[in-house]
Structure 1
Amino acid sequence: MAVTFALHGAVMGSFATRIPWLQDHLNASSGELGLALLAPAVGSLLTMPTASRITHRYGGRAVTRWLICLWCAALALPALAPNLPVLFATLAVYGAASGMSDVAMNAQGVVIEQRMGRSIMSGLHGMWSLGGLVGGGVGSVAAHAGIDARLHLAVMALALTVAGALVGGLLPDVRADADAAEPPRFALPSRTVLVIGLVGFCAVFAEAAGHDWCAVYLTQVAGASPGVAAASYSAFAFTMAAGRFCGDAVVRRLGTVAVVRLGGALGTLGGILVVTARDPLPAVAGFMLIGLGISVIIPLVFAAAGNAANTPSEGVAGAATISYSSGFLAPSAIGWIAQASTLSVSFALVTAMMAAVLMGAGVLIRRSTTAPPPRRS
């Protein structure tokens, strides 16, 4: 299960480091790039709510395996696009595979967590971040060496697809109970899941902005070289991975609400650093703080939503639809705001989102399975 999360993250990390190459290759403005980066939202939001029914019918192992393979293979497509319309189409496929595979593997994670009786979701998401760190590291080296992104992403797509096919066969075969009602074809989130998902909405906005725009920000605002700019993603992914690997133990010690509030505070501080930075060092430090701040929020959101719904896949699908709509819309919003003003102004919105996480942390307390038991007086 953990390796599957790592593969998913490696695809994201690989793509994120070559976004500046795509912008230069297609001679796209910030606004045009932002529009193209809206495409994954279209693909994902149209298909993600159906993931619960598909997982229920065919089983988590088969669905996750083939969707992971599709997601890995789709990594090669954006770099082959000769123009912006084709780039939009390829990114729509990319987003559909990403969203549905994410729902399937997180639903499996929630079920396994329930069966084990202890928190594992933060660690699984830590493996996602580790995969992003590895993918981003390879991408940084490729960008620094001036390797054509078409070659780099094609090789990564092939390697990751083969790994996904091999690892997918080893996944636990998590299936719904025989008497469980089949989810609807298009599952809308309940009110409870909606409220939980709004916290994820704010956190994923900051995460996606960091993923897709940190390298561009370092280049255009902080004056960094292409290699340093690409490395900023690796630094961002590193702090996310570190926070997630420690997250399960920290949540058990401090409690869900305290950890989410602390994450919101760190992310807000990081956003302020990014907005005010005009040199590479403070900008990279700001992105690292944002990564640390948001590291455990989404695992806690998915765990809470999975336990709040009729089935884990239904709850995860609802929370993921809300959260990832923000994640896929954020890169476009950042681009549009930058086109109208500056990238610094764009990241002021990211800072506001992290402040909203800080203020809204309390909604997870009743639905989290990872909060410590109350102390006896």
Structure 2
Amino acid sequence: MNALVRERIATLGVFLANGFGIGAWAVEVPRIKESLALSDASLGLALFCFALGAIVAMPLAGRLAPRFGSGRATALLGVTFAIALPLPALAPGMVTLCGVLFVLGASNGALDVSMNGHASALEARWHAPIMSSFHAAWSAGGLLGAATGALLQKSGVGVVGGLLAPDIFIAVLIMAAAVLALRDIGPRAAAASSGFAWPDSGVMKLAMLAFLCMLVEGAIADWSAVYLRSTLNQQASVAAIGYSAFAFSMAACRFAGDASVRRFGSSRVVALGGLLALAGLALVLSLPTVLTACIGFALVGLGLANIVPVIFSAAGRTSATPAVGVSMAATAGYAGFLIGPALIGFGAGLLGLRVALCVLVIATLIVSLLGGNAVRGTRPA
């Protein structure tokens, strides 16, 4: 097995581990909310601390790759993420929860930047489009993490065990990846990890679309189970079915992402994907049942699955170098992923959760209307 193959397998492992952790965290949010008797607005504030930690850490993460190497920085930040993941379950109150979520958000945001920068450098060395496979691994991890969390809840495992048990698997996976490969693969990785400027005019539209898509994705990760639990009045393991359906459909569709773009074209994938996501959200919000939750969130996952990879690719073609364009779009996208949950929380405190979630419908409508033209306006690959 040559070095690049080992590096790809190791990087896939890190994406899988990070997605697994986020999936496990997503299904524990309702139980943490209930155990601390938090209102929707209080939970929104706590999730804002998660976003704030990531926003602070993301620019700093770019300095680690030049110093330690992109692979070693990814391994280090992966270990940090594994250490931070169980901390919210141990928080005795709101203030402590905000503090540990700041730490968890910082570790997750830094890992996001580092592993995507490393993957971008690896893709350049591979001389073929492989970025969708990394995002597919992340989505598969989210599905497995959510399913594992739901099973642990159904078995009577408490909140601490619900995060600690998945965390053991995550730590083992990251350590195995670090031993297998995760080495510095050149200066291109450092450049991809350190571009944090706000997008210029050439990629502004693409960055905005990435922001909106990942805002929806982040909001679903943290609020879908809360919404279904409050609406359906079901136990937490049943409420988690919405995120599970979303993660499963997204993972499955991303494995076929490159083939879909070749068959239908990137602009059509973005426009039709936005429509599918809009229809799924409308179904869940207008008729919330267990069946419609499965169908609706699955449609959202199918719709959004390949939009962000297409946007990243288009941004790379638009800027002076692919690494610069991808880093700009990724920064905006991950900002949306982190801000979305907090935005929904604050909106829920003012208007109610169902009304606040209508923001996601508007976001997918904008993506559907503007996304196709924005992608079509870039140079062909």
CA separation in 1, counterparts of 2:82 and 2:258? 28
C-alpha deviation, 1:325, in angstroms? 1.8
Q: Does residue 363 of structure 1 match 2:374?
A: yes
Change (3 A) 1:184 1:245: closer
SS of aligned partner of 1:37: helix
Residue 175 of structure 1 corresponds to 186
Change (3 A) 1:209 1:181: closer
CA separation in 1, counterparts of 2:196 and 2:366? 29
Question: TM-score normalised to the size of structure 2?
Answer: 0.90
CA separation in 1, counterparts of 2:64 and 2:251? 30
Amino acid aligned to 1:236: F
Residue 3 of structure 2 corresponds to none
Any conservation in 1 of the 2:47–2:101 contact (CA below 8 Å)?
A: yes
Residue 275 of structure 1 corresponds to 285
Residue 374 of structure 1 corresponds to none
CA separation in 2, counterparts of 1:50 and 1:140? 34
Show the 5 A alignment for 1:51-62.
51-62=61-72
CA separation in 1, counterparts of 2:378 and 2:290? 40
Any conservation in 2 of the 1:55–1:313 contact (CA below 8 Å)?
A: no
Amino acid aligned to 1:267: A
Amino acid aligned to 2:187: A
SS of aligned partner of 2:240: helix
Change (3 A) 1:367 1:165: farther
Show the 5 A alignment for 1:60-99.
60-99=70-109
Show the 5 A alignment for 1:278-357.
278-306=288-316, 308-309=318-319, 314-357=324-367
Any conservation in 1 of the 2:251–2:305 contact (CA below 8 Å)?
A: yes
Amino acid aligned to 2:235: S
Give me the identity figure in percent.
Answer: 36
Show the 5 A alignment for 1:112-191.
112-169=122-179, 170-171=181-182, 173-176=184-187, 187-191=197-201
Q: Does residue 239 of structure 1 match 2:249?
A: yes
Any conservation in 1 of the 2:59–2:194 contact (CA below 8 Å)?
A: no
Residue 211 of structure 2 corresponds to 201
Amino acid aligned to 1:119: P
Amino acid aligned to 1:363: A
Any conservation in 2 of the 1:44–1:96 contact (CA below 8 Å)?
A: yes
CA separation in 2, counterparts of 1:43 and 1:111? 26
Which stretch of the first structure deviates more once superposed, 217-226 or 49-58?
49-58
C-alpha deviation, 1:260, in angstroms? 0.8
CA separation in 2, counterparts of 1:368 and 1:115? 22
**5+ unaligned residues in a row in structure 2: which ranges?**
1-10
Question: TM-score normalised to the size of structure 1?
Answer: 0.90
Change (3 A) 1:13 1:294: same
CA separation in 2, counterparts of 1:22 and 1:253? 44
Q: Does residue 39 of structure 1 match 2:49?
A: yes
CA deviations 1:328-362 (Å, max 9, x no partner) are 12112212222222322122111110111112212
CA separation in 2, counterparts of 1:112 and 1:8? 18
C-alpha deviation, 1:185, in angstroms? 9.0
Change (3 A) 1:85 1:302: farther
Any conservation in 2 of the 1:56–1:175 contact (CA below 8 Å)?
A: no
CA deviations 1:150-185 (Å, max 9, x no partner) are 12212322331232122123135322169x989979
Change (3 A) 1:73 1:171: same
SS of aligned partner of 2:366: helix
Amino acid aligned to 1:242: A
Task: Point out the structure with the larger helix share.
Answer: 2
Any conservation in 1 of the 2:113–2:193 contact (CA below 8 Å)?
A: no
SS of aligned partner of 1:171: coil
Change (3 A) 1:177 1:346: closer
CA separation in 2, counterparts of 1:74 and 1:316? 28
Amino acid aligned to 1:228: V
CA deviations 1:54-85 (Å, max 9, x no partner) are 32343211111111111122111111111111
Give the aligned CA root-mean-square deviation in angstroms.
Answer: 2.4
C-alpha deviation, 1:11, in angstroms? 0.6
CA separation in 2, counterparts of 1:83 and 1:183? 35
CA separation in 2, counterparts of 1:109 and 1:185? 15
CA separation in 1, counterparts of 2:253 and 2:348? 30
SS of aligned partner of 2:256: helix
Which stretch of the first structure deviates more once superposed, 167-176 or 242-251?
167-176
CA separation in 2, counterparts of 1:279 and 1:184? 44
SS of aligned partner of 1:192: coil
Any conservation in 2 of the 1:256–1:368 contact (CA below 8 Å)?
A: no
